[in-house]
Amino acid sequence: MPLPSGEKYGARRCHAKSKSTGKQCGNAACLGSTVCRYHGYRKPEKVLRGKQHPNYVHGERSIEGIKRHREVMAEIKMLTKLAKQLGMIKE
Ligand SMILES: [Zn+2]
């Protein structure tokens, strides 16, 4: 038995573009997403993050690693500015 027509009931369409035809995918978009199950929809709770992800190596490029790097760089920038104001280092 075919599923009810998405167009008839106003279901949102997947916005992905086909590589072969260049046209829009047209499948029904998954709940809370703009793409269908063929074009990358995954439930957020199913996405593996951090050390659980199979491609995790050292964590320098993880979300936490990048956040940590930005905090350290902001601290270094602030200390450099302070040292210049106190005359400890020259510009
Ligand atoms: Zn699609």
Mean per-residue pLDDT, 34-55: 88
Distance 29 CA to ligand 1 centre (A): 7
Q: What is the pTM of this model?
A: 0.50
pLDDT recorded at residue 30: 87
CB atoms within 5 A of ion ligand 1 belong to 14, 16, 25, 27, 36, 38-39
Nearest to 76 by CA among 84, 65, 87: 84
Confidence check: pLDDT of 33 > 80: yes
CA distances from 71 to 9, 61, 77, 81 (A): 49, 14, 10, 15
pLDDT recorded at residue 20: 87
Q: Which residue has the higher pLDDT, 3 or 39?
A: 39
